[in-house]
Amino acid sequence: MDTIKSFTLDHDEIVPGIYCLGEANGVVTYDLRFKVPNGGDYLSYAALHSIEHLFATVIRNGPLKDKVVYFGPMGCRTGCYLLLYGVQEKEAKEATVWALEQCLLLDEVPGTEKKQCGNYLEHDLIGAKKEIQAYLAVLKGE
Ligand SMILES: [Zn+2]
């Protein structure tokens, strides 16, 4: 089988940031890397799960809502994938910063009723916000 593109990145060279992984059929894939790969410090399951709910809700209600194809967590717990239809890097980064800031304004995680989520007890709003704040500082070059 062919090696998929995200596996061809040298993960020893990745530091937290936002990376464009390329475009296929008009859909641009972004790597929202919160953590250094294999660095021993990973997003907790609960924080990552809450980041998924928070960010997906915000980005799908924001200015780019019609361009959002997918947002979801990486299994390695070092970041998330954001797929946007026809949105180039500068705009994607601006939208990501905007969405992360909006996430910090929410005082509950959306979609955490038992009927809405596959593991509704495994959430951590405070942990998610801490990770979002740290990632925002990276994206803003602080
Ligand atoms: Zn869920």
**CA 142 / ligand 1 centre spacing (Å):** 31
CATH number for position 65: 3.30.1360.80
Find the domain containing 66 and state its range: 5-134
Q: What is the pLDDT of residues 22-68, one digit of tens each?
A: 999 999 999 999 999 999 999 999 999 999 999 999 999 999 999 99
How high is the pLDDT of residue 48? 98
How high is the pLDDT of residue 68? 98
**CA 112 / ligand 1 centre spacing (Å):** 7
How high is the pLDDT of residue 6? 79
Helix (H, G, I), strand (E, B) or coil at 8: helix
Q: What is the pLDDT of residues 99-119, one digit of tens each?
A: 999 999 999 999 999 999 999
Residue 86 located in a structural domain: yes
Question: 34 with 43: CB under 8 angstroms?
Answer: yes
How high is the pLDDT of residue 5? 78
**CA 39 / ligand 1 centre spacing (Å):** 26
Residue 141 located in a structural domain: no
Sign, Cα dihedral of 80, 139, 84, 9:
negative
Report the number of distinct structural domains present in the chain. 1
**CA 120 / ligand 1 centre spacing (Å):** 6
Greatest distance between any 2 Cα atoms in the chain = 45
Residue 140 located in a structural domain: no
